[in-house]
Amino acid sequence: MNSEGVLTITHDRASDGTVTLVIRSSHMSDYELAMKSKSFSLPLKARYADFSLVRPFVQLILITRSKFLKIDYLCTETADLARFAISLGVAVTIMDGMQAVVMGDSKADHRWGTPLLSFLQSQSKTDPLVSSVDSHFGYEKYAFGSRDHNVLIDWVDRVSRWFDGRQSILDVGCGTGVFLDQMARRGLSARGIDSNLASVRYAELLGLDARVADVREALQVSEETYDALHCAHFVEHVTPDELSEFMALVYRVLRPGGRAVFVFPDPESIRSQLLGFWRDPTHVRFYHSDIVASMGEVAGLSVEYNSQRADGRVVIPFSFDPPMDDVGHQCSDNSTTNLDPNIKRQLAVLEDRVALQEKWIRQLWMVNQTWAWPDDVVLCLEKPNHS
């Protein structure tokens, strides 16, 4: 297969006002991805492309190992695809040029648009942002295109309240920068570190403060401290010994009164056990929140919040024995006093069975909570204020 393959993206407009975004590969003449929409937006907005388009697009880059991408013109969606391509080391060309490109009015629109347009205009091969990506596949490249950013925004919304008023925030394992972006939209100052080069490149192309680093090494040598730390889906990637060492490093970089918010798969969630955790071959193990909290306490942190200890969350087991009929209840309703005794007995049995079924349903619903819980634990630890 020719390693210098070219991908092209074109906008095909239909008479009904819809637009079809078509992606073709010079490697695979019969391969075509298309997405219809009535709202491919101009000017450029700070919005992610639809995941249903991003995932196959990134997979196509990896399958064909294309080195060039040509786009007829930039819209919000093609701008986001260009970021993914650049992050994987693909050279991007805008065929219509960029003279007519206009950004939206919001600060986020300009923060997202400016670094992308600057990169496309310079196309500098000496820029560290475009250093070569090796051709080895690696799981991390698959994972890079498997993040549904709009779903991740919902995850960030679960924990964003813990960062209100915190102006110096470190995102450990920042990935593509979804958390950083949401903090920036709230006017908070946050920076991120991650070992995945493609993810950090993408975050930088959103105008975010992110850098490539081994997380533990970076915390070990950091001369800066922070009043908040965010760490989502990192702990399940390390061994218990490494996690214990990591907690000591978290204590080291937090200021007194600083807060560390951890998000990781919940071992008490059936969905997480069956549907999510094992999709990632780099996961080492599940951690119960009590283990992580205990390691944090040994390091000198205190538990501020643990979602596994939230009100109303109760673990209910199944009974080893099937429910038994409990017949013999006597109807007390005066309206039944004149009924035939046989009918009254039948009504009593029916009432008993309805009550028993309601009991079964309530018990089953309580057991079913393990499907209703969020897939992830949220654990907040705090570094005590010392006088």
What does the alpha-carbon distance between residue 258 and residue 228 come to, in Å, rounded to a whole number? 5
Q: How far is CA 233 from CA 58, 146, 155, 202, in A?
A: 22, 15, 11, 18
Q: Where are the alpha helices (DSSP H) in the chain?
A: 51-64, 76-87, 107-122, 139-144, 149-159, 178-185, 197-204, 215-221, 240-253, 270-271, 289-298, 341-367, 369-372
Q: What are the structure tokens assigned to 342, written together?
A: 């046989």
- Residue 374 confidence (pLDDT): 80
Angle value at C-alpha 234, between 186 and 150, nearest 5 degrees: 45
Give the sign of the dihedral formed by CA 51, CA 236, CA 165, CA 312: positive
- Secondary structure letter of residue 36 according to DSSP: E
Token pair 């205990």: residue: 294
Q: How far is CA 222 from CA 147, 170, 258, 262, 384, in A?
A: 29, 11, 16, 20, 20
pLDDT at 387 over 50: no
Lowest mean pLDDT among 85-94, 174-183, 343-352: 343-352
pLDDT band, very low/low/confident/very high, at 301 (cuts 50, 70, 90): very high
Instruction: Give the β-pairing of 91-94 and 68-71.
Output: parallel
Architecture of domain 153-311+374-382: 3-Layer(aba) Sandwich (3.40)
Domain boundaries, the chain: 6-141, 153-311+374-382
Length of the chain: 387
- Residue 167 confidence (pLDDT): 87
- Residue 64 confidence (pLDDT): 85
Model confidence over 241-254: pLDDT tens digits? 999 999 999 999 99
Which CATH number is 6-141 given? Answer: 3.30.420
- With CA atoms as reference, report the closest residue to 203 among 94, 111, 67: 111
- Residue 323 confidence (pLDDT): 59
Model confidence over 63-118: pLDDT tens digits? 888 899 999 999 999 999 999 999 999 999 999 888 889 999 999 999 999 999 99
- Residue 131 confidence (pLDDT): 42
| Partners of residue 91 on adjacent β-strands | 68
- Residue 273 confidence (pLDDT): 86
What does the alpha-carbon distance between residue 14 and residue 383 come to, in Å, rounded to a whole number? 59
What does the alpha-carbon distance between residue 180 and residue 108 come to, in Å, rounded to a whole number? 12
Report the amino acid identity of residue 272: S
Report the amino acid identity of residue 249: L
Tell how far CA 46 is from the center of its chain. 18
Token pair 């393990």: residue: 370
Instruction: Give the β-pairing of 91-94 and 19-25.
Output: unpaired
Intra-chain end-to-end CA distance of the chain, in Å: 66
pTM of the model: 0.84
Contact status, residue 205 vs residue 115, Cβ threshold 8 Å? yes
- As a whole number, mean pLDDT of residues 235-245 equals 96
Q: What are phi and psi of 304, to 5 degrees?
A: -100, -35
Instruction: Give me Rg for the CA atoms of the chain.
Output: 27
Provide DSSP, 227-288.
EEEEEES-GGGS-HHHHHHHHHHHHHHEEEEEEEEEEEE-TT-HHIIIIIGGG-TT------
Model confidence over 17-54: pLDDT tens digits? 788 888 888 877 666 777 777 667 779 999 999 998 99
- As a whole number, mean pLDDT of residues 258-281 equals 89
What does the alpha-carbon distance between residue 98 and residue 42 come to, in Å, rounded to a whole number? 13
Q: How far is CA 205 from CA 123, 129, 210, in A?
A: 13, 9, 10
